[in-house]
Structure 1
Amino acid sequence: MPKQTSEFGRNWYAVHTYSGYEDAVARNLRQRIESMGMEDKIFNVLVPTEKKIKIKGGKRRTVEEKIYPGYVLVEMIVTDDSWYVIRNTPRVTGFVGSGTTPTPLSAEEIDILMGRMGEAEPKHKVDLTPGDAVKITDGPFKDFEGKVGEIDEERGKVKVMVSIFGRETPVELDFLQVRRV
């Protein structure tokens, strides 16, 4: 790595890790920063997650999902020492950037990311796609079958085209009121 000094300033960097090991890498980094006395160069280690609502087996669950699987974000001043500490942490494969020079994330990217992480209301996540055949499990159209027309993940709603009196009619339902056939 080319010689760098603290003149480059404090920035956020994306560190590539083995997928599935993001939390372990973050824990390891925090321990290494403390044990090696790097608190003045490496300030924050973050695994970006957001809450999503998943529906499985007709039950709604709120889950924490990683926004960038395989990546950990680190706020640091890049120096030879801080680069070495991060780069030689177990299960870290490298920094995001060209060659041996890490590329900092822009302030705009960090603001967007922090906004996504700070959202109190979880997003709905459902494994339906337009055109899927579904059966309505609740409400006035219980036991009717139809095809998914539109999906509104923000509101947790799905429009199902149901044949009523020989005519296709759109019916708006909650994700919990339908299941895939």
Structure 2
Amino acid sequence: MMMMVLPNKDLLLMQSSCRPPPLLSFPTIKNKPRNNIILVRATLVEEEQETILTTKEKRELRKANRDSKIGTYNWREQVEEKLLQKPKKQFSSWKEELNLDLLAHMGPQWWILKVSRAKGKDTVERMLQALHKNFPDAEFKVFTAAVDEKTKLKSGKISVKPKSLYPGCVFLHCTLNRELHNFIKEDCEGVGGFVGRMVGNTKKQINKPRPVSETDMEAIFQEVKEKQEASDKAFEEEHLRSLEANIVDKTGKKVVTGKTTKRSRKPSGPILGSAVRIVSGTFTDFTGTIKKLDKKRGLVTVGFSLFGKDTIVDLNLSEIVEEQK
């Protein structure tokens, strides 16, 4: 077998001929618009960073706005007053709030009892007798907010009838505890318990008595006094008018005093400002004046005094009657 030895030049040519053809190089175009966009975005971000305020700067700006609008209003003082007026938590747990023996720490207070309206006077008398018998060392005071209305009968006698300003309510002054509370609520016939509020949680709830403040009691005493004076004055004026109407001369004929005026026809039904009495519902036997009247819909708004405060309630016309003078 023969071998051919090629010169080095030919070998180099063969090697060079076996190489792949070189790749054509095209001129590359730089993405200049993309660089421009990046630059624009960078400038926008810089502008936004210049407008954004820090938290401290925002707080100072809000404070400056508030100070410019203050005038006579100071929001700091108002917030401090609300925090001071906010009642602190009196009890450490809900079980402690249900303990009625803690009411004795308040000392003698005025409490409101719910009694029967039909036999309220007899119920109060029986309750006082039972309290003095079972609690001889305790002191009790009972106040019924009522006005004694006087009327003259045909026979000439004067009838006195008490009219309660708060029907079904009696004020009791004593030092209350659990034993006394349960005795009045369970053993005194005709007493429906104390006026209070529900306390506790979903496990157990009770109606805890709520005392009446001295300010409210003074307002109630003053209200009873003023209405009693007004009632006595009205009775005296009516009595004088009846005496003048029955004056007789020497001949035995009645003498009519004053000018005789033609009586105007009164409109039927209650009118605005007239005195009415509630005959049904929650506020039965309460008296007040008509504030609003809608005869087409049969609705009326009555205003009356409840525990020394003005109260307004919407009723039907069938639930009220006009109070006779």
User: TM-score if structure 2 supplies the norm length?
Assistant: 0.37
8 Å CA contact 1:4–1:79 kept in 2: the answer is: yes
Report what 1:22 is aligned to.
120
From the CA coordinates, give the structure whose radius of gyration is larger: 2
Report what 2:193 is aligned to.
94
Label 1:61 to 1:31 Cα distance change in 2 as closer, same or farther (>3 A).
Answer: closer
Label 1:138 to 1:74 Cα distance change in 2 as closer, same or farther (>3 A).
Answer: farther
- Which residue type is aligned with residue 264 of structure 2? E
Deviation of 1:85 (Å)? 2.4
- Which residue type is aligned with residue 229 of structure 2? E
The answer to whether residue 141 in structure 2 is matched with residue 44 in structure 1 is yes
- Which residue type is aligned with residue 17 of structure 1? V
Deviation of 1:66 (Å)? 0.6
Deviation of 1:138 (Å)? 7.9
Structure 2 unaligned segments of length 5 or more: list them. Answer: 1-97, 199-206, 236-255, 276-323
The answer to whether residue 150 in structure 2 is matched with residue 31 in structure 1 is no
Identity of aligned residues (%): 16
8 Å CA contact 2:116–2:168 kept in 1: the answer is: yes
Higher share in strand = 1
For residues 3 and 65 of structure 1, what CA distance do their matches in structure 2 show? Answer: 34
Q: How does 1:12-161 map to 2 (within 5 A)?
A: 12-40=110-138, 42-52=139-149, 63-88=161-186, 89-99=188-198, 100-119=207-226, 121-123=229-231, 124=234, 139-147=258-266
Secondary structure at the residue paired with 1:68? coil
Deviation of 1:80 (Å)? 1.1
Aligned residues: 141
- Which residue type is aligned with residue 67 of structure 1? L
For residues 273 and 259 of structure 2, what CA distance do their matches in structure 1 show? Answer: 20
- Which residue type is aligned with residue 121 of structure 2? D
Secondary structure at the residue paired with 2:170? strand
Cα displacement string for residues 131-172 of structure 1 (whole angstroms, at most 9, x for unaligned residues): xxxxxx98423452244799799xxxxxxxxxxxxxxxxxxx
For residues 193 and 224 of structure 2, what CA distance do their matches in structure 1 show? Answer: 24
Secondary structure at the residue paired with 2:101? coil
Structure 1 unaligned segments of length 5 or more: list them. Answer: 126-136, 154-179
Label 1:32 to 1:48 Cα distance change in 2 as closer, same or farther (>3 A).
Answer: same
CA RMSD of aligned residues (A): 3.6
8 Å CA contact 2:100–2:208 kept in 1: the answer is: no
Label 1:75 to 1:39 Cα distance change in 2 as closer, same or farther (>3 A).
Answer: farther
- Which residue type is aligned with residue 116 of structure 1? E
Higher share in helix = 2
User: TM-score if structure 1 supplies the norm length?
Assistant: 0.62
